[in-house]
Amino acid sequence: MLRSPSDMTCCEAAAAIRQASVSPLELVDSLLERIDALDGEIEAFCFVDRENARRRAIELGNEAARGIIRGPLHGVPFVAKDLFYTRGIPTEAGSKVLKGHTSSFDATAVARLNQAGGILLGKTHTTEFAILDPAPTRNPWNYEHTPGGSSSGSAAAVAAHMAPLALATQTGGSTLRPAAYCGVVGFKPSFGRVSLHGVLPLTWCMDHVGFIARDVADVAVALQVTAGFDPADPASANVDVPDFRSLIPMAKPPIFGRVRHAFFDDADPEVLMALGEATTRLSRSGASIRDVRLPESFTAIHAAQHVAGDVETAEVHSGLYALYSELYRPKAREAIEVGFLVPAELYLRAQRIRQQFRSDMNEMLEPFDALILPTANAPAPKHLVSVGDWKFQSPWSSAGLPSISIPCGLSSARLPLAIQLVGGAFSEPSLLAAAAWCESVLGRLPPPPLSASP
């Protein structure tokens, strides 16, 4: 049976466009059809940029026909979380405070995907300002469950084959957790690797651009075209951009450090069983897996992130909050208000703990390709009132380390489960190679059982 173009991954679609076996317009139309059929219930999108996407698809299709290829994503559609500025179309961050706000420029990440030939298909729902008040989005695997958050729409759109690639963000666990809950790949590179210029901040020190796609190769391509120093972002790292796929496929199986203590007491037995099964399969295929202990500074990292994060969120919002406090939803308002109350020396101490943890982790990770642990403590919770527990993802965000989530199976309730790999700072080539290796051993999940397939 012929697959619908909407089922293609980014790399498959880009290759098909280069070989003229599918046109960008066919691809866009196939995704729009899918959105029309499904998004009434899933609600991943807050804005579908139908006309512009079709117009650009025609333009890129004409270029491809003449042999002009702008970049690795020529003709490939993507979506962006509604925190990313997009010129001419609204960026509202899921909030009444920004109702009707349209920016005059594209976020650097959006601009770079466009330069690589990408087609912005629309904007996806986020929790309000990436804080905790949930988006309306449902989990494509089961509409009664949360897709996770804050990048709720990005994960759901990719999982439901309404887009092959999504821009997301992560400050705690906002890219990897929704990706895990929705059965897709979520990847957050090192702090500073991808510019945050034009991305509405949640904090100054822990925000990251993230990517959600259906396989590791796709998030690697997305990183390749978006990475690199950007003078417009003061936190952008002035480091070389290597070939992120240079180590794929790996010359020899990866070496993993396995974490089985600390926050593991909070994990659902099914999650631990899935991790056990996954590590057994990985080691049977040649991976070396050694138990490791997290450094002492781990014991204070959640507290440090809580303190530093709330203070910075309060500072980020202080101007808007002074004018529109009553328009904020309850959890956002609460997070902002309590952030104003922290004594300054404890904020600074929290920052030093984060720095300590980062340096301890980099040292600990030295002998390994990556740390391996579950992405989340449980599958997607059954409700839409919260977006799940961030504890398993947030320490690595706090330390600015790259992390990636790949699906590893389904729970007894047929919800996706995932493993998480964490690498040292700026170790993306080896982290992505290890993830691709795991993906090849663990296989892919089938798509979610959605009835509305066209």
CB of 261 to another protein, least distance (A): 9
Q: Which is nearer to another protein, 162 or 223 (CB)?
A: 223
Helix (H, G, I), strand (E, B) or coil at 393: coil
Q: Which of residues 252-291 bind another protein (CB under 8 A)?
A: 262
Which residues sit opposite 167 in a β-bridge?
A: 80, 211
Q: Of these, 322, 341, 344, 385, which contacts another protein (CB under 8 A)?
A: 341
Burial class (CB in 10 A: 0-12, 13-18, 19+), 383: exposed
At 57 the three-state DSSP class reads helix
Instruction: Considering the complex, state which of residue 51 and residue 265 has its C-beta at the smaller distance from another protein.
Output: 265
Q: Which is nearer to another protein, 47 or 426 (CB)?
A: 426
Q: How far is CA 263 from CA 298, 377, 400, 406, 420, in A?
A: 10, 9, 19, 20, 14
Q: Whose Cβ is closer to another protein: residue 6's or residue 171's?
A: 171
The pair of structure tokens assigned to 65 is 């026909």
Nearer to another protein, 144 or 291 (CB): 291
Nearest-CA neighbor of 206 among 354, 397, 432? 397
Residue of 368, 345, 347 whose CA lies nearest to 293: 368
Catalytic residues: 81, 150, 174
Q: Kindly give, in sequence order, each residue whose CB lies less than 8 Å from that of residue 236, ignoring residues fewer than 6 positions away.
A: 192, 195, 196, 197, 229, 230
Site string for another protein, 97-136 (x = CB under 8 A): ----------------------------------------
The distance of closest approach from Cβ of residue 22 to another protein in the complex, given in angstroms and rounded to an integer, is 42
**Can you say how many angstroms the Cα of residue 377 is from the centroid of all Cα atoms in its chain?**
17
232 interacts with another protein by CB under 8 A: no
Closer to another protein by Cβ: residue 128 or 215: 128
Stretch that binds another protein, among 11-19, 141-149, 293-301, 382-390 (CB under 8 A): 293-301
Q: How far is 295 from 204, CA to CA, in rounded Å?
A: 25
Nearer of residues 88 and 330 to another protein, judged by Cβ: 330
Amino acid symbol at 326? E
Residue 420 to residue 170: CA distance in whole angstroms: 14
Q: Is 306 in the site for another protein (CB under 8 A)?
A: yes
Helix (H/G/I), strand (E/B), else coil: 231: coil
Which CB atom, from 281 or from 306, has the smaller least distance to another protein? 306
Q: How far is the CB of 255 from another protein (least distance, A)?
A: 19
Minimum distance from residue 205 beta carbon to another protein (Å): 6
What is the signed CA dihedral for 380, 383, 385, 388, rounded to 10 degrees?
-20
Residue keyed to tokens 């020396």: 345
Question: Which residues does residue 90 pair with via DSSP β-bridges, in sequence order?
Answer: 102
Q: Which of 342, 364, 410, 450 binds another protein (CB under 8 A)?
A: 342
Q: Which of 103, 115, 359, 386 binds another protein (CB under 8 A)?
A: 359
Scanning 120-128, 211-219, 335-343, 404-412 for contacts with another protein by CB under 8 A, the matching segment is: 335-343
By C-alpha distance, which of 194, 214, 188 is closest to 375? 188
Based on the shown chain and the rule CB under 8 A, indicate whether residue 191 belongs to the binding site for another protein. yes
Region of 120-128, 135-143, 195-203, 230-238 interacting with another protein (CB under 8 A):
230-238
Q: What is the DSSP letter of 142?
A: B
**Site pattern 425..444 for another protein (x: CB under 8 A):** xx------------------
301-334 burial, b if ≥16 CB within 10 A, otherwise e? bbebbbbbbbbbbbbbbeebbeeeeebbbebbbe
Told to check if 327 binds another protein by CB under 8 A, we report no
- Does 424 participate in binding another protein (rule CB under 8 A)? yes
The nearest distance, CB 275 to another protein, in angstroms, is 21
Contact 237, 245 (CB under 8 A): no
Positions touching another protein (CB under 8 A) are 191-192, 205, 234-239, 262, 296-297, 299-300, 302-304, 306-307, 310, 334-335, 337-338, 340-343, 346, 349-353, 355-356, 358-359, 362, 400, 424-426
